[in-house]
Structure 1
Amino acid sequence: MNEHTQLIVMLTHHDQTVKNAYEIFDNCKDSKAKFWGFKDSGIPLDEMKALYAYMKACGKTTVLEVVEYTEAEGLAGAQMALDCGVDILMGTIFSDSIHKFCQENNLKYMPFVGTVTERPSVLNGSAKEMIAEANCYLEKGVYGIDLLGYRHTGDASAIIKEFVTTVNAPVCVAGDVNSYQRIDEVKDFGAAAFTIGSAFFENKFEGSFKEQVNKVCQYINCLEGVSHV
């Protein structure tokens, strides 16, 4: 991730990897999006490995988001990320054991903050509490933070703004970025990245999957010829 806000395309719907993820990526491999990933459930491990290998062969930066809430499940997800050769592990409730595993295996780790429950995930917790939590993890050496901002049960925009503008590390705003207004917010707040998965499958940005991906990429890079009116 660099100084510009990045789109991470997630081949997921309702926090589950879609069955035809390989086919969709194959159709989109020459799209403008550099970052691609999916969740830890929905397709078999062998299919995950093959798809991530294909993504990397196409020059993409790869992400696995693990939507699990126990240390054991998080460690299993980290092992899955290693087995698949991904670049970035997002999600899991932070634990020192997962962090150590990522450090030992050169995985960039971006854990959840706040109280995360259910699937699709729901986030609770004050901005102040989550900022303190994030700073604790960053002091230990994690790469960044996975903030389920628009899944928050309170004033999501205010929470995201306070968190992103305060935390001095890459923050990915994950989940429910489903409009140009929300893209404007995460970009204006200075988030390193945001994920879109379900919104593409639900045609929130109008067009084929590939057309929607390219529209959003063009929009965040301020290219001409894109309108969201």
Structure 2
Amino acid sequence: MDFIFMLTRDDRTVTDCLHVLDSVRELGITHIGFKDVGVDTATLRRLHEQIRALGATSHLEVVSTGRAEVLDSVRTAVDLGVDWLLGGTRIEETLALLDGTGIRYLPFAGEPTGHPTRLAGTPARIADDCRRAEAAGCAGVDLLAHRATDADPLDLVRAARAATAGRLVVAGSLSTPAEIRALAEVGADAFTVGSAAFAGALRPEAGTLAAQLTAVLEASGGRPRGGPVTGGGGRAAP
């Protein structure tokens, strides 16, 4: 299962993202993401260049919900040239903007609201959204399972896994190694962690960000030191 390290806290890219990324480069994390809010476009461009220089796969996650803001985020993804675009629910318009770019798209399943984002939707709604995304040509879905307001998070992951053969990324509010291991058991291909690592939630007795990320890597089955982290069996990983 792939670990996507999000350089974000409370759904905003951290202002010292360039320094943070440099400080954990030796861990060999191969999937790194950010939001298009929190820092300016010039910083995002430098950040993306730095991610590419590390040989990592880049992910931009949309957090806006208004149509104009969502499509602006898509245009930012195209301008930067990221590998994966996560989030948003305007599938057809997003795919039209991504046409010909090679960027793979994972829309949100369910109904995201607010900021930080919460997720409304029953397992049946999640399954329907997964099938709709796959039929439209998306590479999979981005599921805010642990921000669910209407169902148990793992029930949503199970419903999504049964409904799609595409890449299933579980994003948002994971805070313990046990939660990460549970995701692997129910079939997630990848997951994101950002705020919990910056807050020290994964390994409370340790004080450094590197220690938090090492705990995440260990829970996901990756190798925190001694070479790049393995891909871990995601269905549509690069």
Question: What TM-score does the superposition give when structure 2 sets the normalisation length?
Answer: 0.88
8 Å contact kept, 2:134–2:164: no
Q: Counterparts of 1:117 and 1:11 in 2: how far apart (Å)? A: 21
Structure 1 spans left out of the alignment, 5+ residues:
225-229
Q: Look up the match of 2:62.
A: 66
- Shifted more, 11-20 versus 207-216: the winner is 207-216
Q: Counterparts of 2:214 and 2:166 in 1: how far apart (Å)? A: 27
Q: Counterparts of 1:220 and 1:107 in 2: how far apart (Å)? A: 25
Q: Counterparts of 1:222 and 1:84 in 2: how far apart (Å)? A: 28
Structure 2 spans left out of the alignment, 5+ residues:
225-238
Asked if 1:186 is matched to 2:195, the reply is no
User: Among 33, 38, 50, which residue is 2:34 paired with?
Assistant: 38
User: Among 197, 201, 206, which residue is 2:198 paired with?
Assistant: 201
Task: Write the letter of the residue equivalent to 1:12.
Answer: T
User: Among 50, 56, 66, which residue is 2:52 paired with?
Assistant: 56
Task: Write the letter of the residue equivalent to 2:138.
Answer: V
Q: Counterparts of 1:131 and 1:204 in 2: how far apart (Å)? A: 31
Alpha-carbon shift at residue 51 of structure 1 (Å): 0.7
Question: What TM-score does the superposition give when structure 1 sets the normalisation length?
Answer: 0.91
Q: Counterparts of 1:223 and 1:111 in 2: how far apart (Å)? A: 29
User: Among 4, 8, 26, which residue is 2:4 paired with?
Assistant: 8
Alpha-carbon shift at residue 222 of structure 1 (Å): 6.8
Q: Counterparts of 1:148 and 1:117 in 2: how far apart (Å)? A: 11
8 Å contact kept, 1:68–1:93: no
Q: Look up the match of 2:73.
A: 77
Q: How does 1:1-229 map to 2 (within 5 A)?
A: 5-153=1-149, 154-206=151-203, 207=206, 208-221=208-221
Identity of aligned residues (%): 28
Q: Counterparts of 1:222 and 1:30 in 2: how far apart (Å)? A: 14
8 Å contact kept, 2:84–2:104: yes
Q: Counterparts of 2:122 and 2:202 in 1: how far apart (Å)? A: 31
8 Å contact kept, 1:71–1:98: no
8 Å contact kept, 2:65–2:88: yes
- Equivalenced residue count is 220
